[in-house]
Structure 1
Amino acid sequence: MAGVIQDVQPAVPQPGTGGAAPLAERLPRLALIGNPNSGKTSLFNQLTGLNQKVGNFPGVTVDRKTGVAQLGGQRRAEVVDLPGTYSLYPKSLDERVIADLLYNPLSPDYPDFVVVTVDASNLRRSLLLFSQLADLGLPAILALNMTDVAAERGIQLDVVALERELGVPVVPMNARKGVGLAALRIVMADRLAARPPAGRFWQPGAELRPLLEAIRQHFGLPNDYLALHYAHQFRQLHFLSEEDRTYLASLTEQYAFDSTAQQAAETVGRYASINELLLEVVTVTRTERREPASNRIDKVLTHRVFGYLIFLAILFLLFQAIFAWAQYPMDLIDQGISALSAAIQARFHGPLVRLLTEGVIAGLGGVLIFIPQIALLFAFLAVLEETGYMARVTFLMDKLMRPFGLSGKSVVPLISGLACAVPAIMGARTIESWKDRMLTIFVTPLMSCSARIPVYTVLVALVVPDESWLGIFNMRGLVLMGLYLLGLSSALLSALLLKTVLKARERSYFIMEFPVYRWPRWKNVGLTIVEKVKTFVLQAGKVIVAISVLLWVLASYGPGTRQEQAAAQVQQQAAARRWSAAETERREASARLETSYAGTFGHIIEPAIRPLGFDWKIGISLLTSFAAREVFVGTMSTIYSVGQDADLGTVQQKLASERDAQGQPFFTPVRALSLLVFYVFAMQCMSTLAVTYRETKSWRWPLGQLVYMTGLAYAASLLVWQVFS
């Protein structure tokens, strides 16, 4: 074996079984690991399809995607998608979960074997990570991905020789297209039956043997390389106790262990072995003489002028599509919900029927109507990610972010914030600089997330005419884009302000690898849309429907006999002024709502929000939407459903029919703009505050977000109403 040392150490005993149920009682567990842009996520999607779920790694708020894969021979296995990394020496917080998982053989989450995805067109870099995993004694399979790219570049690989040199099965494949997937499933099933470890690439020098032997004996570790990582990383390994860390600190000091020098020596030694191996298995048949097409495209997409214009054009197309393309299916859903509610009310009567139609169905309609827009947003983001353009946006925005105290890596959480602030804040773990990470976490909620789309679209559609500017630009789409740009501008200016408060002087650097340009894999795009829509409907939907039912009860009943007295007073006025039956019914419903529990509470807070142009009904919606911003629409739908004519079924129709004391339309353009501006800035998401606390380990940051953003929202809304009303 060229450059590879035969393994003489025992493999990790019974991986995956320590502290967990026996293998017979649970599915075998395999972990997907690889460099960023090596096709790991595409392979995960191919293996698991729709059998996926997203949670957190134990003890940390890093996304953990798991799924169930069907292997060869009708066997099934649990697949864990680990964060992308270039080596087992973590540089960011999300990479540390890999160390916590792979360095603890007794963990119940320890994998039975790993599938390492490597880029066949850049095998030298990819094999560094594989060699480290092999030296840990982990049973492995090498998924040789992007073989089509390697062939285009004139790179030929001797797969049989590579398999012999590495000592593990090697499966050539194209994960995006599913080529080689069937062979990989068969190999994985065979690997479960027999899990021999791979060969060894590198071993520590003799001078480290006393230190490593002491660590191995103390912790019962199976090989020297795992003991070496304990010496390197004991301060970051969460599963170690304080006594363990104290012991390792004294031991490394006793043996004068120099972690930096040892890492450098290891890297040099590994690449020496890898270079020798590649001479045996890689042949370059031709050299690319022309500049690659990707470089020519990058000159345009990352241009200091055209790059920003192209990015703005793409955003413009996105927001136009959210209104123009989604309108027809939204209308169908809205009309269907309205017709269902009217049909039920026409055939049945009673409090339970009203609870069903005005509470449950009205709240459900506030969820389902926005599925087309949510699907379109995530479809666009998935296409940008699949094609490789999102990485260029990150690079492009680095120059823009620097003056505001942020880095190019901050762009990923900020753009992710267009979908949801919770995973976006978790994504800030990839930022090494503490200052950059704190700034990014603090300002990310100012980005307009998908939960704001229901609020934006209802209010914009209410007061902005469905017309085109210059015959091609939808006016509603332009306003929507303006709201998103307002959120981005406020995030950048807030970061600039906070930059002067934080005194950290550390310098940060932005280095990233561009993935190759590819046509999007529509199956992956479809999986992303289904996953995100399902999350929106199930998670946000449960909150919205629950609050809608609670609100219906609070809006339908009141303390004592106040509602009956108010209704009797309306009847007296109707007789004296000769109101029509419809007018009398409308005024009686309004009086009952105003004297209900919800109305009573709304009137208590009304003085604080009246300067913004809001009334007590909007106040109730503001408070309930603190659970989740999108609850606003469900609340408004429920509040304006109670006692109203069933024919006014759509949310927009209900708001448009609302009148002020003078009988004029209540939702004027200025009042709608004041409310829109409030929602651009307001921190109204308990989940965001919770994840900020978990990421910063301090209440100072989430409370600072709450006070700052609420104050900013109030001041901006006050300015709009007082100036333009």
Structure 2
Amino acid sequence: MTSTIKIALVGNPNTGKSTLFNILTGLNQKIGNFPGITVDKKLGYCKLPGGRQAEIIDLPGTYSLYPKSRDERIAFQVLADSTNPSYPDLVVVIADATNLRRNLLLYTQVADLGLPVLLALNMTDMAKKEGIDINVDKLSERLGVQVVPISARSNQGIDKLKAAIVNTTMATQLPGADMDHLAPGALQHTRELLQTDHTYLCLQVLHQHEHLGRYTELEHEALEEIKRINNFDVSKLQAAETIARYRYLSSVLSGVVVDTGAKRKFAFSDKIDAVLTNRFWGFIIFFLILFFIFNAIFSWSTFPMDLIEGGFGWLTEYGHEHLPEGLLTDLFLDGILAGLGGIVIFIPQIAILFAFISILEDTGYMARVTFMMDKIMRKFGLSGKSVVPMIGSLACAVPSIMSARNIENWKDRIITIMVSPLVSCSARLPVYTLLISLIIPEKMLFGFINLQGLTLMGMYLISIIAAILVAWVMKIIIKAKEKSYFIMELPVYRMPRWKNVIFTMYEKSRTFVFEAGKVIIAISIVLWVLATYGPPERFAAIDRKYEQIEAQKIETEIATLERDRSAEKLENSYAGILGHVLEPMIKPLGFDWKIGIALVTSFAAREAFVGTMATIYSVEGGEEGTTIRNKMLAARNPDTGLPVFTFATGFSLMLFYAFAMQCMSTVAVVFRETKTWKWPIIQIIYMTALAYVASLIAYQLLK
């Protein structure tokens, strides 16, 4: 046996599988893709008793091995194919102790595949509160596997689970539900073809061999021929298998589970749902929650943001005073440090946003929002399943678009993919907050409503309304006869796991800094070079001009002249030339050539806008230690003498960033999900056109 044991976590949705994964692995985890598939693979490592290390794979939640979506298909592909790189040595099936009979259906399927299996009964503390008593020893004896009662939320039974993992070395020896009677002729032919005595594996292969890459084209054709000859009816046989398994589970659970609190079960959740999912009060409460979140993002983050901004200002000033003058110092301070400071300052706001999202998901409220929005979404060409990707887009459109593969209906899925990037993501948050701080005063309405927070909420609502309206238009344009359905299980309300909330804040903030930071630093270096250098003849002419002027000025005026020289050189640099080329196209929107440069760099990542402005204004020069916000506030239009960032310009720019497709990662993932460039190109064109028209109208009306 190898020193590292590979363990797969399997379970129904909402059984606490991901919570257990986080407890077992802590910070020692990473996200990747399953080979050849754009599906997230969560991998982590933990130490087991005896010093062994375990590699833990968190497989997507599924109700059975017969998948309804591409995400659910992963569990089957990993568990039924011994050649799969993620094929485990042991499977830990996590079951909800409050709904054991339904959860054990998946367990029986996994166990029948012949893998060593361990059953973890989660939420046992909640089951006791609801009057559900489970005889764990008797259940273990009847199933022939180790059964470990745990509570992942309260960290109970985890050590026992680790010990059980070490002691589980073989598959169950006890027979489960009889599958031989379902299609005896087809199973016999398949056993001969595959040269195996494994009945249930043969049954699964007959059902969905097309999802397994281990078989040759000839073997796939032979399996199809076996199905045809033996009248293998997939739907009828799956239904027959389910009935047989529930019959078997009835005998297993007889005398094992005693429910003395059936009347009390979920009573508390039902009472809360009567208010929170009410067709009138439910939406009002949802919008009040949104208002509180966005108000908190501005109010609570002010102090830490001021500290970070002041810290970077001090570092820049200290660097210019103590580091030797030269290109490397300028590159580091005015390029890399300035760009990085423009990102790090927003960590408090990113952390607060993800803390609230984590709390809403952890308590079970986010599932209610999905349920409430289903009827509304259907009127606009979407289903309730579209709500999950769209709400997820508040964080990032990339994983949200990938999660749309859970939508079986092709038309609903395409529309969801096409409109999800319109929902304002966390990358837009730095842009919004910087511009709002420039054009909206720090005022409190009625003593408790933060005007800036209210504006931020308005930007998010504008993006959501735009996404819904565009979906309605696409509903009319895109034709499909396929009907969609929406079935979901509402989890009971629970207190949020504060450890999980803190972990989410840390993980998302770290990802934001490192993923965005790599892009920002690269852009900052390239931009600093483009903004520092220009055509030699232009720079030589500027130097001669200012040398003549300086000879006639007194010393106190030299500093002002140096700032003027830096500003003129920036305008004539390669970056400035690019900005001036773009300026005629964006001037009707209220944007100058510097904003034009930021629009170009933002196509790599939206948040690059802040780093770009920081670099441009740092290269341009100015009073040492002045923050990027203050430099932007002080910027003046050379033609009018008015501030560059007026209310009209700021609002126009926010609308442009709200609607424009300025994220290459999103374009790439749309291509991967749709397998064609048609949809990404349509997406880029319509979102850019929408952004331009919205910004044009806003600026022309407000200027």
TM-score range, shorter chain: over 0.9
Matched residues in 1 for 2:436 and 2:634: separation?
A: 16
Q: Take 2:601 and 2:479, find their aligned partners in 1: how far apart are those partners?
A: 37
Alignment of 1:340-489 (within 5 A): 340-348=315-323, 349-489=325-465
Structure 2 counterpart of 1:175: 152
In 1, Cα distance between equivalents of 2:543 and 2:197: 80
Residue deviations 1:165-186 (CA, integer Å, cap 9, x gap) = 0111000111111100010011
Q: How far is the alpha carbon of 1:469 from its aligned partner? A: 1.2
Structure 1 residues 467 and 186, CA gap change in structure 2 (3 angstroms): same
- Does the 8 A contact of 1:621 with 1:635 survive in 2? yes
- Aligned partners of 1:583, 1:328: CA distance in 2, in Å? 33
Tell me, in whole angstroms, the C-alpha distance in 2 between the residues paired with 1:449 and 1:216.
51
Residue matched to 1:521: 497
Indicate whether 1:551 and 2:527 are aligned. yes
In structure 1, how many angstroms separate the alpha carbons of the residues matched to 2:350 and 2:369? 22
Once the two structures are overlaid, the 10-residue window that deviates more, 327-336 or 70-79, is 70-79
Partner residue in 1 for 2:230: 255
C-alpha separation in 2, matches of 1:404 and 1:643: 48
Distance change (3 Å), C-alpha of 1:39 and 1:530 = same
CA deviation vs aligned residue, 1:218-255 (integer Å, no higher than 9, x gap): 33445111111111112333554444332222221122
Q: Residue 618 of structure 1 aligns with which residue?
A: 595
2:654 is matched with: 676
The alignment's TM-score, normalised by the length of structure 2, stands at 0.97
Q: 1:477 to 1:198 in 2, by over 3 A?
A: farther
What code does the residue aligned with 1:82 have?
L
**Structure 1 pair 289–452 and aligned structure 2 pair: CA distance change class (3 A):** closer
Contact in 2 for aligned 1:335/1:649 (Cα 8 Å)? no
Deviation at 1:289, TM superposition (A): 5.6
The residue number in structure 2 matching 1:17 is none
Instruction: Give the alignment partner of residue 304 of structure 2, picking from 310, 329, 342.
Output: 329
Task: Give yes or no for contact 2:534–2:573 (8 Å, CA) kept in 1.
Answer: yes
Note if 1:154 corresponds to 2:131: yes
Q: Which residue number corresponds to residue 86 of structure 1?
A: 63
**What letter is aligned with 2:12?**
N
Contact (CA 8 Å) 1:131, 1:200: kept in 2 or not?
no
Contact 1:134 1:200 in 2 (8 A): no
* Post-superposition offset of 1:561: 2.5
Residue number in structure 1 paired with 2:608: 631
Deviations 1:265-301 (A, max 9, x none): 1011000000111113112234426971110000000
Aligned amino acid, residue 714 of structure 1: Y
* Mapped contact 2:546–2:565 kept (Cα < 8 A): yes
Aligned amino acid, residue 599 of structure 1: G
- Does the 8 Å CA contact 2:142/2:252 hold for their aligned counterparts? yes
Q: Secondary structure, in 3 states, of the residue corresponding to 2:619?
A: coil
Contact 1:140 1:198 in 2 (8 A): no
Equivalent residue letter for 2:519: V
Task: State the distance in 2 between where 1:322 and 1:696 align.
Answer: 35
Secondary structure of residue in 2 paired with 1:432? coil
* Structure 2, unaligned runs of 5 or more: none
The alpha-carbon distance between structure 1 residues 289 and 638, as it changes in their structure 2 partners (threshold 3 A), is closer
Q: CA deviation at 1:206?
A: 4.3
After superposition, what is the alpha-carbon deviation per residue over 1:636-669, rounded to whole angstroms, capped at 9, x for unaligned?
A: 1001100413525422112112111133321111
One-letter code aligned to 1:56? N
Name the residue aligned to 1:718: 696
- Letter of the structure 2 residue corresponding to residue 59 of structure 1: G
Counterpart secondary structure, 1:561 = helix
- Contact 2:10–2:92 (Cα < 8 Å) also in 1: yes
1:688 counterpart residue number: 666
Tell me, in whole angstroms, the C-alpha distance in 1 between the residues paired with 2:312 and 2:189: 69
The structure-2 alpha-carbon separation of the partners of 1:378 and 1:568, relative to structure 1 and needing over 3 Å to count, comes to: same
Q: Tell me how far 1:482 sits from its aligned partner.
A: 0.5
Is 1:49 matched up with 2:23? no
CA distance in structure 2 between the aligned counterparts of 1:360 and 1:241, rounded to whole angstroms:
53
Taking the aligned partners of 1:99 and 1:290, their CA distance within structure 2 comes to 32
For residues 352-407 of structure 1, give each alpha carbon's deviation from its aligned partner in whole angstroms, at most 9, with x where no partner exists: 11111001111110121111111111100000011111111110111211110111
Identity of aligned residues (%): 52
SS in 2 for 1:109: coil
Q: Mark the CA change 1:243 to 1:685 in structure 2 (over 3 Å): closer, same or farther.
A: farther
Deviation at 1:207, TM superposition (A): 6.5
Query: Which residue identity is paired with 2:566?
Result: A
Q: Which amino acid aligns with 1:715?
A: V
Moved more, 298-307 or 242-251: 242-251
2:618 pairs with one of 641, 647, 650: 641
Distance across 1 between alignment mates of 2:574 and 2:675? 38
2:219 is aligned to 244
Distance in 1 (CA, whole Å) between partners of 2:416 and 2:112 is 37
1:542-593 deviation line (CA, Å, top 9, x unaligned): 0101110111011001122311212333455677899933332221111100
Structure 1: distance between partners of 2:348 and 2:192? 59
2:662 aligns to what SS in structure 1? Answer: coil
| 1:285 paired residue among 260, 280, 287 | 260
Whichever residue aligns with residue 418 of structure 1, its letter is L
Greater CA drift, 439-448 or 277-286: 277-286
Q: Which residue of 2 aligns with 1:306?
A: 281
Q: Deviations for 1:19-52, whole angstroms, at most 9, x for unmatched residues? A: xxxx63x621100010111111111111011111
Find the aligned partners of 1:533 and 1:709 in 2 and give their Cα distance.
28
Is 1:108 aligned to residue 59 of structure 2?
Answer: no
* Paired residue type of 1:441: I
Q: TM-score, normalised by structure 1?
A: 0.94
My pick for the range that moved more, 644-653 or 671-680, is 644-653
Aligned alpha-carbon RMSD (Å): 1.7
Task: Using the TM superposition, give the Cα deviation of residue 523 of structure 1 relative to its aligned residue in structure 2, in angstroms.
Answer: 0.9
Q: Does 1:218 align with 2:193?
A: yes
Change beyond 3 A, Cα 1:199–1:650: farther
* Whole-Å separation in 2 of the counterparts to 1:54 and 1:114: 20
- Equivalent position of 1:706 in the other structure: 684
Aligned to 1:10: none
How many residues are matched? 700
Q: Distance in 1 between matches of 2:214 and 2:600?
A: 41
Q: Which residue, 246, 251, 258 being the options, matches 1:271?
A: 246
Whether 1:36 and 2:13 are equivalent positions in the alignment is: yes
**Amino acid corresponding to residue 454 of structure 1 in structure 2:** P
Q: Which residue type is aligned with residue 4 of structure 2?
A: L
| Per-residue deviation, 1:533 | 1.1
The answer as to whether partners of 1:342 and 1:646 remain within 8 angstroms in 2 is no
| CA distance in structure 2 between the aligned counterparts of 1:576 and 1:443, rounded to whole angstroms | 61
1:6 aligned residue: none
SS of structure 2 residue aligned to 1:61: coil
Equivalent residue, structure 2, for 1:13 = none
Q: Of residues 101, 125, 133 in structure 2, which corresponds to 1:124?
A: 101
CA contact (8 A) 1:360 1:548 kept: yes
Q: Could you tell me how far apart the structure 2 residues matched to 1:28 and 1:289 are?
A: 42
